[in-house]
Each structure stands twice: as structure tokens, then as C-alpha cells.
Amino acid sequence: MNAILRTEKLRVEFKGREFRQLPKVALRGLDLEVNAGEVFGFLGPNGAGKTTTINVLLGFIQPTGGSASLFGIDVRQPIARQRIGYLPELTYYYKFLTAEELLRFYSRIFSLPRAEAEKRIDAVLKLVELDSARKRLIKTYSKGMQQRVGLAQALINNPDLLMLDEPTSGLDPLGRMKVREIIQRLKNEGKTVFFSSHELGEVETVCDRVAIIAEGELKAVGRVGDIVGQRASLEKAFLDIVGYQPQSTP
Amino acid sequence: MNNIFAVAGVVIKELYRRKDFYVLFILTIVICLVMASVNIFNDSQIIRYLKELCLLLIWISSLVIAITTTARQIPAEREQRTLLPLLAKPLSRTQLIFGKFLGCWLACGLVLVCFYAFFGALAASREHTWPLLNYFQAAFLHWVMLGVVIAMTLLGSLVFAAPSSNSTICLVIVLAILCVGRYLDLVALSLAEPGRSIISGIYYTFPHLEVPFGMRNLIVHDWPLIEWKFVALDALYLLAYAAAFLVAACLVFRRKAVN
Amino acid sequence: MNSAKTSWLLLIALLVLCFGLAANLQPKFQSLESSRRQSNNFFSLMLGDSSRIFANSFFVKADAYYHSGYYPTIFDNNEAFRTPHMAEDTGAVASHNEGEETSFMGPPRDWIDAFGRHFIPNRHTHLDEGGPTDDLSTSSEVREILPWLKLSAELDPENIKTYVVTAFWLRTKLNKVPEAEQVLREGLRNNPNDPQLLFELGRIYFENYHDPARARNIWEAALRSWARQAPGVPQSDRLEKTNENFDNRFIFEQLQTNLAQLEEKAGNRDAAIARWELAKLASPTPDDIQKHIDELKQKQTAH
């Protein structure tokens, strides 16, 4: 299968703030591949390097070593992001714009022709159920509405790869279901979804493959069933893989 | 270029949806109208003091709008986390910087059009003349000068921690240039070394923004047009400085973490 | 309960003390205040004594307007602008100017300065002599200096020059004689019996209202006021050619010269000659005046 997301020996170090402080290694030679058309879960405890990996893939930070590519294009090229959609964990958008204006702005950056852009705007606003509020300024939106705007902007360019960072964080059960539906729909359309999450139950339900990362290293990658193996659940498997030792009770 | 214009469009929308411009514009109008109502020896044709006051208010307002609007562009994006979804699009950091610059510059251009239109109307109400070319020269160089200020402030927003400190520093530098920039070489001559060399160096390297500022007197006192070649030369000179500041901003921004 | 009562009593005692102090100090304070403090001008009150500095800068600003913006800054050679030209041209203010007025900026210091001069007023002009366009029909543009003069007068009502200059331009170039008279009377209210203001008022009556009798009265009153400025000091001392006496001599000479001209016009040659003799004492060109006196005497003898 052709990998549309690939990292090879990806290494990221952050310089220490104090004088003579050793650099902090966030990623240690990460090798990762995500194939077209699959839903890929990216798991790990806090501080494992998930966000750093996503930041490298999106061009926010430069890797210290190794390489990363999207659709065969080095992530340092802006064009690598032409076919992706990104939903950050915390969604904030320009408060002085309306949802419609925001989507129109992003579609212009994607160089969508105007007619197509208008169609896409109508489609995604209907999908996230913001059609009635499209002409209101974003500053008047509730938190849930702002998150839906986030989802809309991630889908505006009909991306082949959707990258979601904690997509269900802070959502109510209805919102979570909506996100799951969208992920499933995209999968049915042959799109690729790459998302990091702490909701292992959700990951178990929707993902085809998962990768588990801890302390900057890839600990396990493969189909959910293969990783769970003989263990009771993905959660147990996760805890075993990251080396969690339960503290003995006094 | 499409991306640059897209970013610029958002900046312009932000400016006309914020209240700053309207407050300053209305304040300028009110002050000028109040001063115009003063009875000076029953002579209704006196206009130059009004023109000077109006132009001074225009300069102050335009500098405040340019600096405060630009100073908050990148820091606000970073603080409000709108930078991440933006840079996750096929938009390079250089395009973002140029887009922000163009947006602020065009927005200031629109502001100047409004202000100078009011100025022209005020002057014409008493002088009954419309020296449009003179106003155009002054407004054009004023706009180009603001381009340098915007580029400098944009660089400052990437170097300094807070928009407030950036705004203050840029405003102080610009005001210092406007007030004493022309005479810095004379000040240098009065100092001993190494102060003399330092001040002389500053005199020859900083952008001489006071050149367009001095044109106010030509407008107020109805001097003839400046030769167009000098206007063009000064515009090129200022644009070169703006370009230098922008390149520096791009280089600094490339190495900055965005989150 | 007791502590509350004590607090109230203390408060009342403090209020009584404050009231007593205010009543005691107010008359002393009033005697220290200068008359300017009683000005009803808002800016004068707010600025206090620094209003004089502002008044002076606005007076200079008026001269900058007189030159259509071509004016030296503190960095330039301003020897030729010590006495503002708008004041000098009235003929009522002594000039302390030296040097070349057309090139205070000097040659360009470098290419930046040379280039920058294309964007500022760079030629010496006067508003009443055509201004930057050299159009003599626009001599009434001198009205543009009036706002600054008005402001200067309001901030420093004790500056005589401001009233003199304002009145001169109002009556000569703008044909606003009643306004000019009003300005001078305002000046006299703030500076009673000032000889210079009386001189200017006399000029209005002589040159504009064509009332020589009234003009003579006013000028003679001005001379009496001039003499009273230094009681006990002999006239010869005040007319001695020293720097300190420059303004004294100037106003004395102006008054005597104008009275002499008035007497000549009225046909009173003896009185005219007497006035010319006095004017000669203070004049920088006594020989010219002597020549004129000789001519008058010759005419008198011929008759």
C-alpha cells in the first residue's frame, strides 16, 4: 500500500533554556507510515511526542534529524499541506469574521475556484450544522459552535488526509458521535484520517491501525486487534506497552 | 500572490470592524470643526491654522493606527492560536509576513484616503480651491512612509515580547525621527568621539521618515508642486527600507516557534 | 460607642481647623498672586506661568506663518530672525536682526540634507509680498498669522508686541480698523498707559480715522507715560546709545517723529521743528533729521 504520510528516523531536540543544559529529546528516530484510505490512531501518554510529531508534519517546527513527508512531498514545502485538513485540539478562529468569511478565506488559500469554494462552504456548513449561523460573527458563537467551525475549516478543501489532534476533547456525547460519523464517512470516501487521542474506547472503535509512542520512541504499531492480542482491551495493551507499573497499595 | 492577498483581505476586514479608526476619525473631525468655529477678528477666510491642525491630527492618527494594528497582528494570532490552523494550510511564513504587511499597508491607505478627503473638503470650504496634485503627493509619500513604519513594527512584533512594548518602542523611534531626524548630523558634530561616530552612523543608516513629514508645510502654506522625480526617488528610498525590514522579519519568523 | 463618638469629634475638630486655616491663609495667598492668575482664560489658568513660554512660541509661530513655513529651527542660524519679521515690518518694533535672512539653512551638509530640502519650504518670502507664489494680489494672506497672534495675546496679555503687530496687520492689509482698535484697547486694559500701545492707537486715529487732534492727544499721553516709566531718571540718560536703551530710544523716536509729521501736516512748523529736534536725540540717523529740520527752517524763513 502506498504511504501518504511517512517519517524516517525523525529526531527532534529542543535546546535547554539554562546554560549548559542538555537538549531535551522529544522524538528519537521515529519511523512511521500511514497508508492511503485508513483511519490511523496515534496514541501515547502525555509528553510522549505526539504533538511534536504533528507539529513537524504540519511544518510548525523543523526536525533536528531524519525526514517527514506528506504525499511524497517534504513537509517543509508549503505545498505539502495542499491536500490535508487540520483540526487543532483548541479551536480558535478570527472573532471578527463570520463562519462563511473564515471558510472563504481558507478556501482562497487552498486556491479553490470561487464557484467550487461556495459549494464547499455550503456543504461543510450543512455538515457541521452551522448553516443558520453562517453570517454571525464567530465571537458570538458558543464553544461547541466554535469547535464545529474548526471541523468545517478542516474539511473545506475536501482533504485527502485529515489530521485531528484530540478531536473529541471537550465535546459532549452528541458532539463525539458527530465526529465519529464524520470520520466514518471520510473513510468510506477513501480518505485517510490521522488522529491523536486519549479516548482509547473511541480509537478501538474507529481505527484500522494504531501507533503507540512513549518517550519519543515508537513502541508499537499495527492493527488494533494485533496490538490488543490476548489482553482484555486496548487500554490494558496501552498500559503494558508504555511500561506502566501500578503502585502497590499500602 | 493569491495567498498574500487573502491574508491582506482579512487584515483590512479586521481594521474596519474594530473601533480604532472610527474613534480617531470622528475625534479629528470634531476637533477640526470646533477649531473652525472660532471667531478670529471676524475673518472667515483664515484657514492655514486649521490645515496645520488637521494634518497634524492625520499624522498622529495614522501613526497610531499603523503601529497598533501592525503590532498586534502576529502576537494576537499566536495568543489566540489562530496561527496554527493558518500555517497548517499551504501558506508559507514569508507569505504570511507579506500578507500581514500588505493588509496593514492597504488598510492605512484607505484610512489616509478618508482623512485626506476630509482635509481637502475642510480646506476647500474656505479656500475654494482643490490642489489635488499637491494633496496627492503628500498623501502618497505619507502612505509610503507608513509602509516603512509598518514593516518596522512587524519586525518588532517578532522580536519584542509584547505588542504594548513593541508599539511604544516603534512610536518613540518614529517620533524621534520625525522631530530630530533631519538634524542628527548637527547633533553628532557637537559631541565628542565615540558619540559623534555613533550618532553619525545612525544618521546615515536610519530611514529618513521626516522627509514626507516636512511636506505638511508645503501643503499648509500652498507651495507649488514638488518635482515628480523627487517624489519618485523618495518613494523608492522608503520602499527599499520597507523591503529591508520585511526581509529581516521573514528571516526572524522562519526560526520562531509558532506554538 | 465611645470610640465612635471620639472619631466624630476628631473629624469635626479637623474640619474646623481646615476652615480656620483657609480663612487665615486666603488673603495672604491672594496678595501673592499676580494679575495674570485672575485671567479668565482656561489655558492661562491651566498653564500658569508657563503660558508665557507658550505665548512666545505662538508668537514665533505667527512669524513662521508670515514666512509660509520657511523658518529656522533651534538647530539653524537664526541671527536674522531674532526680531520676527512680521513685527519688524510694522515699523513699530525695534529690530535686533543681523546676518542674511535668505539663507539661514546654509549650504546642504550632505546628500540627505540636499535631497530633503526639496520637500520643505526653501525660499524666503513674506505673506504680504506675494508668498511662495509671488502673487502680490494675495497680500491679504497675511491674515493667516492672526490665529497665532490671538492665542499668544490670550496666553500672555502683558506682551505688548503681540497687540502692536496684530493691530498693524489688521488695519493695513486686512482693512479691519475697528478690530485693530479693539485689539489695542484690549492691550491697554491689560497694560494700562503703555506708550507703545498708545502710539499704535494714535496711528489708527491719524492714518485711518484721519483725526489728527485725537491722534496728537494720544501720542502726547504716550510720551507722558514713557516719561513716567522711569521716574527721576533724566531723559538724556534714557536716550543714551546703549543696548539697554534700544527699545526706549526706538519708541521715543517713533512718537516724536509721528508727532512731527502730524504738526507738519497741520501746518504748525514751529511745533514740528521742536518735535524733530527731540526725535534727533534718539534717532540712529540724526544727520538726516537735521537736514529735514534745516529744510523746514528754510521754508519758514521764506514765508
Model confidence pLDDT, tens digit, residues C99-138: 777 777 788 889 999 999 999 998 888 888 888 888 877 7
Name the minimum distance, in Å, from the CA of B77 to any CA of chain C.
Answer: 39
Answer yes or no: pTM beyond 0.80.
yes
pLDDT at A145: 87
B45 touches chain C (CB under 8 A): yes
Order of strands, edge to edge, in the sheet holding A73-74? A24-35, A3-14, A65-70, A73-74
- Residue B191 CB partners (closer than 8 Å, separation 6+): B199
SS (H, E, C) C165-180: HHHHHHHHCCCCHHHH
Other beta carbons less than 10 A from residue C17's beta carbon? 10
Average pLDDT for chain C: 86
At residue C91 the predicted structure's pLDDT band, cuts being 50, 70 and 90, is: confident
Side-chain-side CA neighbours of A146 within 13 Å: the count stands at 19
Whole-number percent of chain C with pLDDT over 90 = 48
3-state secondary structure of C272: helix
Q: Whole-angstrom distance between the N-terminal and C-terminal Cα of chain C?
A: 107
pLDDT above 70 for C32: no
Chain B: residue whose CA lies nearest to C175? B43
- Strand pairing partners for A7? A32, A68
pLDDT above 80 for B91: yes
Cβ of C143 within 8 Å of Cβ of B43? The answer is yes
Mean pLDDT to the nearest integer, A170-188: 83
Residue C232 has what DSSP assignment? T
pLDDT above 90 for B151: yes
Chains that contact A by 3+ CB pairs under 8 Å? Answer: B
Residues B72, B242: Cα–Cα separation, whole Å: 18
Name the minimum distance, in Å, from the CA of C199 to any CA of chain B.
Answer: 21
Q: Give this complex's ipTM.
A: 0.90
Check: CB of residue A78 under 8 Å from CB of residue B91: yes
pLDDT above 60 for A122: yes
B178 touches chain C (CB under 8 A): no
* Between B194 and B161, the higher pLDDT residue: B194
DSSP string, C179-191: HHHHHHHHHHHHS
When scoring C104, C118, C165 by the number of chain B Cβ atoms within 10 A, the one with the most, hence best to mutate, is C118
Cβ of A94 within 8 Å of Cβ of B10? The answer is yes
pLDDT above 90 for B94: yes
Name the minimum distance, in Å, from the CA of C148 to any CA of chain B.
Answer: 8
Sign, CA dihedral B177-B183-B188-B190, equals: negative
Q: pLDDT for C240-264, tens place per residue?
A: 777 777 778 888 999 999 999 999 9
pLDDT at C249: 84
Mean pLDDT to the nearest integer, A11-27: 82
At residue C36 the predicted structure's pLDDT band, cuts being 50, 70 and 90, is: very low
Q: Which residues of C touch B (CB under 8 A)?
A: 65, 68-69, 73, 75, 109-110, 112-113, 115-116, 118-121, 131-133, 143-144, 146-148, 150, 170, 174, 176, 179, 183
Cβ of A109 within 8 Å of Cβ of B3? The answer is yes
Chain C: residue whose CA lies nearest to B214? C120
Q: pLDDT for C122-179, tens place per residue?
A: 888 888 888 888 887 777 888 999 999 999 999 999 999 999 999 999 998 889 999 9
Average pLDDT for chain B: 93
Chains that contact C by 3+ CB pairs under 8 Å? Answer: B
At residue C41 the predicted structure's pLDDT band, cuts being 50, 70 and 90, is: low
At residue B68 the predicted structure's pLDDT band, cuts being 50, 70 and 90, is: very high
* Between C92 and C25, the higher pLDDT residue: C25
Mean pLDDT to the nearest integer, B73-87: 90
Check: CB of residue C177 under 8 Å from CB of residue C170: yes
pLDDT above 80 for A7: yes
Helix residue spans in B80-194 (DSSP H):
83-87, 93-127, 132-159, 163-180, 184-189
B223 touches chain C (CB under 8 A): yes
